[in-house]
A and B are shown apart, each in its own frame.
Chain A
Amino acid sequence: MSTRSVEALERALRDLGVRCSVEAFDALAVAVPEPGEQRLQDPDVRRRAIELARAHGFSHLAVELREPGHAPTDRAPLSRD
Protein backbone atom coordinates (compact mmCIF):
# COMPACT_ATOMS: atom_id res chain seq x y z
CA MET A 1 0.00 0.00 0.00
CA SER A 2 1.38 3.40 -0.91
CA THR A 3 2.50 6.01 1.58
CA ARG A 4 -0.05 8.32 0.00
CA SER A 5 -2.90 5.93 0.87
CA VAL A 6 -1.66 5.60 4.43
CA GLU A 7 -1.45 9.35 4.89
CA ALA A 8 -4.82 9.89 3.27
CA LEU A 9 -6.49 7.37 5.54
CA GLU A 10 -4.83 8.89 8.57
CA ARG A 11 -6.16 12.31 7.59
CA ALA A 12 -9.62 10.90 6.97
CA LEU A 13 -9.70 9.21 10.36
CA ARG A 14 -8.58 12.40 12.05
CA ASP A 15 -11.32 14.28 10.22
CA LEU A 16 -13.69 11.71 11.66
CA GLY A 17 -12.38 12.62 15.08
CA VAL A 18 -10.22 9.54 15.62
CA ARG A 19 -6.79 10.69 16.81
CA CYS A 20 -4.42 8.07 15.52
CA SER A 21 -1.60 7.31 13.18
CA VAL A 22 -1.91 4.61 10.55
CA GLU A 23 0.48 1.86 9.59
CA ALA A 24 -0.01 -0.44 6.63
CA PHE A 25 0.83 -4.03 6.07
CA ASP A 26 -0.24 -4.99 2.58
CA ALA A 27 -3.97 -4.32 2.59
CA LEU A 28 -4.21 -4.20 6.38
CA ALA A 29 -4.40 -0.77 7.98
CA VAL A 30 -3.54 -0.58 11.65
CA ALA A 31 -4.80 2.48 13.47
CA VAL A 32 -2.48 3.32 16.34
CA PRO A 33 -4.54 5.48 18.66
CA GLU A 34 -3.19 8.35 20.67
CA PRO A 35 -3.43 7.94 24.45
CA GLY A 36 -7.01 8.24 25.65
CA GLU A 37 -8.50 7.97 22.18
CA GLN A 38 -11.75 6.01 22.50
CA ARG A 39 -13.96 7.19 19.65
CA LEU A 40 -13.76 3.83 17.94
CA GLN A 41 -15.95 2.43 20.70
CA ASP A 42 -18.81 4.27 19.02
CA PRO A 43 -20.38 1.83 16.52
CA ASP A 44 -21.18 4.59 14.04
CA VAL A 45 -17.62 5.87 14.11
CA ARG A 46 -16.33 2.34 13.76
CA ARG A 47 -18.54 1.67 10.77
CA ARG A 48 -17.49 4.90 9.12
CA ALA A 49 -13.82 4.18 9.82
CA ILE A 50 -14.10 0.81 8.11
CA GLU A 51 -15.74 2.48 5.11
CA LEU A 52 -12.93 5.00 4.94
CA ALA A 53 -10.31 2.28 5.07
CA ARG A 54 -11.96 0.50 2.19
CA ALA A 55 -12.30 3.72 0.25
CA HIS A 56 -8.54 4.18 0.58
CA GLY A 57 -7.80 0.70 -0.71
CA PHE A 58 -7.48 -1.31 2.50
CA SER A 59 -9.32 -4.57 2.97
CA HIS A 60 -8.93 -4.63 6.76
CA LEU A 61 -8.83 -2.04 9.51
CA ALA A 62 -7.61 -2.97 12.97
CA VAL A 63 -6.96 -0.83 16.01
CA GLU A 64 -3.85 -1.47 18.01
CA LEU A 65 -4.49 -2.19 21.66
CA ARG A 66 -1.91 -0.22 23.60
CA GLU A 67 -0.58 -1.02 27.01
CA PRO A 68 -1.74 1.54 29.56
CA GLY A 69 0.83 4.27 30.05
CA HIS A 70 2.52 3.76 26.72
CA ALA A 71 4.32 6.62 25.08
CA PRO A 72 2.80 7.73 21.75
CA THR A 73 5.86 6.55 19.79
CA ASP A 74 6.65 3.55 21.94
CA ARG A 75 6.10 0.76 19.47
CA ALA A 76 8.06 -1.68 17.42
CA PRO A 77 7.91 -1.23 13.68
CA LEU A 78 5.35 -3.40 11.97
CA SER A 79 7.25 -6.12 10.21
CA ARG A 80 6.47 -9.39 8.54
CA ASP A 81 8.45 -11.19 11.21
Chain B
Amino acid sequence: MRHEPNKPADNQLREKEDSLVRWLRAHGSALVGFSGGVDSAYLACVAVDALGSANVLAVIGKSASYPEAQWAAARDVARRFAVPVLEVNTDELADPRYAANPTNRCYFCKSELWSRLAPIAQDRGLGCVLDGANADDLSDYRPGARAASEWGVLSPLAELGFTKAEIRELSRLRGLPTWRQPSAPCLSSRIPYGMAVTPARLRRVEAAEAALRSLGIEGDLRVRYHGDLARVELPAGDVAQWLAPDAAEQLRAAVAGAGFARVALDLRGFRSGSLNVLGGVRADSPDVADDRRPNEAPAA
Protein backbone atom coordinates (compact mmCIF):
# COMPACT_ATOMS: atom_id res chain seq x y z
CA MET B 1 0.00 0.00 0.00
CA ARG B 2 1.34 3.41 -0.91
CA HIS B 3 0.79 6.33 1.45
CA GLU B 4 0.55 9.80 -0.02
CA PRO B 5 2.69 12.52 1.55
CA ASN B 6 0.56 15.20 3.20
CA LYS B 7 2.92 17.58 4.98
CA PRO B 8 5.26 20.30 3.67
CA ALA B 9 8.27 18.24 4.66
CA ASP B 10 6.80 15.31 2.80
CA ASN B 11 6.34 17.52 -0.25
CA GLN B 12 10.04 18.33 -0.19
CA LEU B 13 10.78 14.67 -0.02
CA ARG B 14 8.41 13.98 -2.88
CA GLU B 15 10.25 16.55 -4.98
CA LYS B 16 13.45 14.74 -4.19
CA GLU B 17 11.89 11.47 -5.22
CA ASP B 18 10.72 13.10 -8.43
CA SER B 19 14.32 13.98 -9.18
CA LEU B 20 15.24 10.34 -8.69
CA VAL B 21 12.48 9.26 -11.05
CA ARG B 22 13.80 11.67 -13.69
CA TRP B 23 17.31 10.41 -13.16
CA LEU B 24 16.20 6.81 -13.61
CA ARG B 25 14.15 7.58 -16.72
CA ALA B 26 17.14 9.29 -18.26
CA HIS B 27 18.99 5.98 -17.97
CA GLY B 28 16.15 3.93 -19.42
CA SER B 29 16.71 0.65 -17.64
CA ALA B 30 18.72 -0.58 -14.69
CA LEU B 31 20.12 -3.49 -12.76
CA VAL B 32 19.95 -2.81 -9.02
CA GLY B 33 22.27 -4.54 -6.60
CA PHE B 34 19.65 -5.62 -4.11
CA SER B 35 20.36 -6.68 -0.54
CA GLY B 36 16.90 -6.07 0.85
CA GLY B 37 18.31 -3.35 3.06
CA VAL B 38 16.69 0.06 3.50
CA ASP B 39 18.49 1.78 0.64
CA SER B 40 18.46 -0.83 -2.10
CA ALA B 41 14.86 -1.81 -1.36
CA TYR B 42 13.75 1.79 -1.75
CA LEU B 43 15.80 2.26 -4.90
CA ALA B 44 14.49 -0.92 -6.50
CA CYS B 45 10.87 0.02 -5.81
CA VAL B 46 11.25 3.53 -7.20
CA ALA B 47 13.02 2.10 -10.23
CA VAL B 48 10.11 -0.23 -10.92
CA ASP B 49 7.67 2.68 -10.62
CA ALA B 50 9.78 4.88 -12.85
CA LEU B 51 10.86 2.43 -15.52
CA GLY B 52 8.36 -0.40 -15.38
CA SER B 53 9.18 -3.90 -14.24
CA ALA B 54 10.33 -4.95 -17.72
CA ASN B 55 13.21 -2.50 -17.47
CA VAL B 56 14.45 -3.28 -13.99
CA LEU B 57 16.24 -6.28 -12.57
CA ALA B 58 17.10 -6.46 -8.89
CA VAL B 59 19.89 -8.91 -8.27
CA ILE B 60 20.63 -10.51 -4.94
CA GLY B 61 24.18 -11.73 -4.41
CA LYS B 62 23.97 -14.69 -2.04
CA SER B 63 27.00 -15.77 -0.08
CA ALA B 64 28.02 -17.05 3.31
CA SER B 65 28.38 -13.53 4.67
CA TYR B 66 24.86 -12.52 3.63
CA PRO B 67 22.41 -13.09 6.49
CA GLU B 68 19.55 -15.45 5.76
CA ALA B 69 17.13 -13.05 7.45
CA GLN B 70 18.24 -10.31 5.09
CA TRP B 71 17.68 -12.61 2.13
CA ALA B 72 14.17 -13.31 3.37
CA ALA B 73 13.52 -9.58 3.72
CA ALA B 74 14.75 -8.99 0.19
CA ARG B 75 12.51 -11.71 -1.23
CA ASP B 76 9.56 -10.34 0.70
CA VAL B 77 10.01 -6.82 -0.65
CA ALA B 78 10.45 -8.13 -4.19
CA ARG B 79 7.29 -10.19 -3.95
CA ARG B 80 5.14 -7.50 -2.35
CA PHE B 81 6.29 -4.69 -4.62
CA ALA B 82 6.53 -6.61 -7.90
CA VAL B 83 10.26 -6.13 -8.23
CA PRO B 84 11.77 -8.57 -10.75
CA VAL B 85 14.52 -10.36 -8.88
CA LEU B 86 17.37 -12.66 -9.75
CA GLU B 87 19.66 -14.44 -7.33
CA VAL B 88 23.28 -15.18 -8.07
CA ASN B 89 25.77 -16.92 -5.85
CA THR B 90 28.87 -14.99 -4.96
CA ASP B 91 31.86 -16.43 -3.22
CA GLU B 92 34.03 -13.75 -1.71
CA LEU B 93 35.27 -16.21 0.90
CA ALA B 94 37.08 -18.10 -1.86
CA ASP B 95 39.30 -15.05 -2.29
CA PRO B 96 42.13 -15.38 0.23
CA ARG B 97 42.53 -11.62 0.24
CA TYR B 98 38.99 -11.35 1.60
CA ALA B 99 39.15 -14.34 3.90
CA ALA B 100 42.25 -12.93 5.61
CA ASN B 101 39.94 -10.15 6.82
CA PRO B 102 42.01 -7.04 6.17
CA THR B 103 40.59 -3.58 6.86
CA ASN B 104 39.79 -3.23 3.15
CA ARG B 105 37.94 -6.56 3.10
CA CYS B 106 34.87 -4.89 1.61
CA TYR B 107 36.78 -4.02 -1.54
CA PHE B 108 37.29 -7.70 -2.38
CA CYS B 109 33.69 -8.55 -1.56
CA LYS B 110 32.32 -5.80 -3.75
CA SER B 111 34.74 -6.63 -6.53
CA GLU B 112 33.38 -10.16 -6.52
CA LEU B 113 29.78 -8.92 -6.44
CA TRP B 114 30.05 -6.43 -9.25
CA SER B 115 32.12 -8.77 -11.39
CA ARG B 116 29.09 -11.09 -11.35
CA LEU B 117 26.43 -8.44 -11.79
CA ALA B 118 27.94 -6.20 -14.46
CA PRO B 119 27.95 -8.95 -17.13
CA ILE B 120 24.31 -9.72 -16.36
CA ALA B 121 23.38 -6.11 -17.07
CA GLN B 122 25.35 -6.20 -20.28
CA ASP B 123 23.81 -9.49 -21.45
CA ARG B 124 20.30 -8.18 -20.80
CA GLY B 125 20.88 -4.80 -22.34
CA LEU B 126 20.21 -2.91 -19.11
CA GLY B 127 21.38 0.69 -19.24
CA CYS B 128 23.21 0.91 -15.94
CA VAL B 129 24.15 -0.89 -12.74
CA LEU B 130 23.08 0.78 -9.50
CA ASP B 131 23.81 0.42 -5.84
CA GLY B 132 22.01 1.85 -2.84
CA ALA B 133 24.80 4.03 -1.47
CA ASN B 134 23.37 7.22 0.01
CA ALA B 135 24.64 10.71 0.73
CA ASP B 136 25.56 9.86 4.32
CA ASP B 137 27.94 7.22 3.02
CA LEU B 138 29.98 9.82 1.15
CA SER B 139 31.49 11.15 4.36
CA ASP B 140 33.48 7.95 4.86
CA TYR B 141 36.17 6.40 2.77
CA ARG B 142 34.78 2.98 1.91
CA PRO B 143 36.78 0.29 0.22
CA GLY B 144 33.60 -1.21 -1.21
CA ALA B 145 32.77 2.05 -2.94
CA ARG B 146 36.07 1.91 -4.78
CA ALA B 147 35.13 -1.46 -6.23
CA ALA B 148 31.78 -0.07 -7.34
CA SER B 149 33.51 2.80 -9.05
CA GLU B 150 35.89 0.47 -10.85
CA TRP B 151 32.93 -1.48 -12.25
CA GLY B 152 31.06 1.63 -13.34
CA VAL B 153 28.34 1.20 -10.76
CA LEU B 154 26.23 4.32 -10.22
CA SER B 155 24.82 5.53 -6.91
CA PRO B 156 21.83 7.76 -7.64
CA LEU B 157 20.75 8.12 -4.02
CA ALA B 158 24.16 9.49 -3.10
CA GLU B 159 24.41 11.55 -6.25
CA LEU B 160 21.06 13.22 -5.61
CA GLY B 161 21.76 13.84 -1.94
CA PHE B 162 19.38 11.37 -0.31
CA THR B 163 20.25 10.92 3.35
CA LYS B 164 19.51 7.74 5.25
CA ALA B 165 16.81 9.48 7.24
CA GLU B 166 15.13 10.69 4.07
CA ILE B 167 15.24 7.22 2.55
CA ARG B 168 13.65 5.79 5.67
CA GLU B 169 10.90 8.39 5.58
CA LEU B 170 10.24 7.93 1.87
CA SER B 171 10.18 4.19 2.44
CA ARG B 172 7.63 4.67 5.19
CA LEU B 173 5.48 6.79 2.91
CA ARG B 174 5.60 4.02 0.32
CA GLY B 175 4.64 1.40 2.85
CA LEU B 176 7.94 -0.39 2.53
CA PRO B 177 8.53 -2.66 5.53
CA THR B 178 12.22 -1.79 5.42
CA TRP B 179 11.68 1.78 6.59
CA ARG B 180 12.52 0.97 10.19
CA GLN B 181 14.67 -2.06 9.55
CA PRO B 182 17.90 -2.02 11.56
CA SER B 183 21.13 -1.73 9.65
CA ALA B 184 22.29 -5.16 8.57
CA PRO B 185 25.91 -5.14 7.51
CA CYS B 186 27.42 -8.37 6.32
CA LEU B 187 28.18 -11.02 8.90
CA SER B 188 31.92 -10.67 8.41
CA SER B 189 31.71 -7.36 10.23
CA ARG B 190 31.32 -9.35 13.47
CA ILE B 191 34.81 -10.80 13.18
CA PRO B 192 37.76 -8.62 14.19
CA TYR B 193 40.03 -7.49 11.41
CA GLY B 194 42.92 -9.86 10.99
CA MET B 195 40.99 -12.89 12.18
CA ALA B 196 40.13 -15.11 9.24
CA VAL B 197 36.55 -15.12 7.98
CA THR B 198 35.30 -18.67 7.61
CA PRO B 199 31.86 -20.10 6.82
CA ALA B 200 31.75 -21.83 10.21
CA ARG B 201 32.39 -18.62 12.10
CA LEU B 202 29.78 -16.76 10.11
CA ARG B 203 27.22 -19.49 10.75
CA ARG B 204 27.84 -19.32 14.50
CA VAL B 205 27.35 -15.58 14.54
CA GLU B 206 24.24 -15.76 12.41
CA ALA B 207 22.71 -18.52 14.54
CA ALA B 208 23.42 -16.59 17.73
CA GLU B 209 21.86 -13.40 16.42
CA ALA B 210 18.82 -15.33 15.20
CA ALA B 211 18.48 -16.85 18.66
CA LEU B 212 18.55 -13.38 20.22
CA ARG B 213 15.90 -12.15 17.81
CA SER B 214 13.77 -15.10 18.85
CA LEU B 215 13.88 -13.72 22.40
CA GLY B 216 12.09 -10.65 21.10
CA ILE B 217 15.08 -8.32 20.95
CA GLU B 218 14.51 -5.65 18.33
CA GLY B 219 16.69 -2.91 16.94
CA ASP B 220 20.43 -3.02 16.46
CA LEU B 221 22.11 -6.05 17.93
CA ARG B 222 25.38 -7.74 17.15
CA VAL B 223 27.13 -10.88 18.27
CA ARG B 224 30.84 -10.10 18.07
CA TYR B 225 33.09 -13.04 17.53
CA HIS B 226 36.05 -13.43 19.88
CA GLY B 227 36.84 -17.09 19.38
CA ASP B 228 35.05 -19.16 22.00
CA LEU B 229 33.58 -16.03 23.50
CA ALA B 230 30.65 -14.15 22.01
CA ARG B 231 30.30 -10.51 22.98
CA VAL B 232 26.72 -9.42 22.65
CA GLU B 233 25.85 -5.83 21.85
CA LEU B 234 22.23 -4.88 22.42
CA PRO B 235 20.46 -1.54 22.00
CA ALA B 236 21.89 0.59 24.82
CA GLY B 237 18.48 1.00 26.43
CA ASP B 238 18.04 -2.76 26.66
CA VAL B 239 21.27 -3.61 28.48
CA ALA B 240 19.91 -3.18 32.00
CA GLN B 241 16.96 -5.53 31.57
CA TRP B 242 19.19 -8.30 30.20
CA LEU B 243 21.52 -8.09 33.17
CA ALA B 244 18.78 -9.28 35.52
CA PRO B 245 19.55 -12.88 36.49
CA ASP B 246 16.70 -14.69 34.75
CA ALA B 247 16.97 -12.63 31.58
CA ALA B 248 20.76 -12.95 31.56
CA GLU B 249 20.46 -16.70 31.69
CA GLN B 250 18.00 -16.67 28.80
CA LEU B 251 20.39 -14.58 26.80
CA ARG B 252 23.40 -16.72 27.68
CA ALA B 253 21.62 -19.93 26.82
CA ALA B 254 20.43 -18.56 23.48
CA VAL B 255 23.92 -17.60 22.38
CA ALA B 256 25.57 -20.68 23.87
CA GLY B 257 23.14 -22.78 21.88
CA ALA B 258 24.72 -21.41 18.73
CA GLY B 259 28.05 -22.89 19.71
CA PHE B 260 29.80 -20.31 21.88
CA ALA B 261 31.39 -21.63 25.05
CA ARG B 262 31.27 -18.26 26.75
CA VAL B 263 28.92 -15.32 26.44
CA ALA B 264 29.53 -11.76 27.56
CA LEU B 265 27.24 -8.75 27.42
CA ASP B 266 28.82 -5.46 26.37
CA LEU B 267 27.97 -2.90 29.03
CA ARG B 268 27.75 0.03 26.64
CA GLY B 269 25.50 -1.73 24.20
CA PHE B 270 25.51 -1.52 20.45
CA ARG B 271 28.17 0.61 18.81
CA SER B 272 28.49 0.88 15.09
CA GLY B 273 31.94 -0.18 13.97
CA SER B 274 32.59 -1.59 17.41
CA LEU B 275 35.12 -4.18 16.32
CA ASN B 276 37.22 -1.66 14.51
CA VAL B 277 38.85 -0.48 17.69
CA LEU B 278 39.46 -4.04 18.83
CA GLY B 279 41.23 -4.95 15.63
CA GLY B 280 43.89 -2.39 16.32
CA VAL B 281 42.24 0.17 14.09
CA ARG B 282 40.60 3.26 15.48
CA ALA B 283 36.87 3.43 14.88
CA ASP B 284 37.19 6.89 13.44
CA SER B 285 39.91 5.90 11.03
CA PRO B 286 39.04 6.71 7.43
CA ASP B 287 40.08 3.20 6.59
CA VAL B 288 37.21 1.47 8.27
CA ALA B 289 33.53 1.95 7.95
CA ASP B 290 32.03 -1.36 7.01
CA ASP B 291 29.85 -1.85 10.06
CA ARG B 292 28.18 1.48 9.60
CA ARG B 293 26.71 0.74 6.25
CA PRO B 294 24.26 -1.96 5.32
CA ASN B 295 25.31 -1.67 1.71
CA GLU B 296 28.61 -3.23 2.59
CA ALA B 297 26.77 -6.53 2.65
CA PRO B 298 27.47 -8.66 -0.41
CA ALA B 299 24.54 -7.28 -2.31
CA ALA B 300 24.22 -3.52 -2.32
Question: Shortest distance in angstroms between A31's beta carbon and chain B's nearest beta carbon?
Answer: 8
Contact in complex: B227, A65 (CB < 8 Å): no
Question: Shortest distance in angstroms between B111's beta carbon and chain A's nearest beta carbon?
Answer: 27
Contact in complex: A63, B274 (CB < 8 Å): no
The reply on B45 being an interface residue by CB < 8 A is: no
**Contact A64-B227, Cβ < 8 Å, known A26-B280, A38-B245, A81-B195:** no
User: Which chain B residue has the least Cβ–Cβ distance from A80?
Assistant: B227
Inter-chain CA distance A38–B243, complex, in Å, is 8
Contact in complex: B192, A26 (CB < 8 Å): yes
Q: What secondary structure prevails in chain B residues at the interface with A?
A: mixed
Inter-chain CA distance A25–B229, complex, in Å, is 10
Q: Which of B6-14, B49-57, B246-254 contacts A (4 or more CB under 8 A)?
A: B246-254
Highest count of chain B CB atoms <10 Å: which of A26, A40, A50, A76: A26
Number of residue pairs A-B, CB distance < 8 angstroms: 84
Within 8 A of A (CB), among B199-254: 226-229, 231-232, 239-240, 243-245, 248-249, 251-252
**Contact A28-B263, Cβ < 8 Å, known A41-B244, A79-B227, A81-B195:** no
Contact in complex: A76, B261 (CB < 8 Å): yes
The reply on A4 being an interface residue by CB < 8 A is: no
Contact in complex: B278, A78 (CB < 8 Å): no
The reply on A16 being an interface residue by CB < 8 A is: no
The reply on B277 being an interface residue by CB < 8 A is: yes
The reply on B265 being an interface residue by CB < 8 A is: yes
Contact in complex: B243, A63 (CB < 8 Å): yes
The reply on A27 being an interface residue by CB < 8 A is: yes
Contact in complex: B252, A67 (CB < 8 Å): yes
Inter-chain CA distance A81–B240, complex, in Å, is 29
Contact in complex: B226, A63 (CB < 8 Å): no
**Contact A78-B228, Cβ < 8 Å, known A26-B278, A59-B278, A63-B267:** yes
Question: Shortest distance in angstroms between B264's beta carbon and chain A's nearest beta carbon?
Answer: 4
Contact in complex: A76, B262 (CB < 8 Å): yes
The reply on A60 being an interface residue by CB < 8 A is: yes
The reply on B266 being an interface residue by CB < 8 A is: yes
Within 8 A of B (CB), among A8-61: 25-28, 30, 38, 40-41, 43, 46, 49-50, 59-61
Q: Which of A26, A61, A76 makes the CB contact (< 8 A) with B267?
A: A61
Contact in complex: A68, B240 (CB < 8 Å): no
A-binding residues in B (CB < 8 A) = 192, 195, 226-229, 231-232, 239-240, 243-245, 248-249, 251-252, 256, 261-268, 274, 277-280
Write 15 A-B pairs (CB below 8 A) sorted by A numbering.
A25-B278, A28-B278, A30-B264, A41-B243, A43-B240, A60-B274, A60-B277, A60-B278, A62-B232, A62-B265, A63-B264, A63-B267, A67-B256, A79-B227, A81-B195
Q: Which 6 A-B pairs have the closest CB atoms?
A: A62-B264, A65-B252, A81-B227, A59-B277, A80-B227, A64-B264
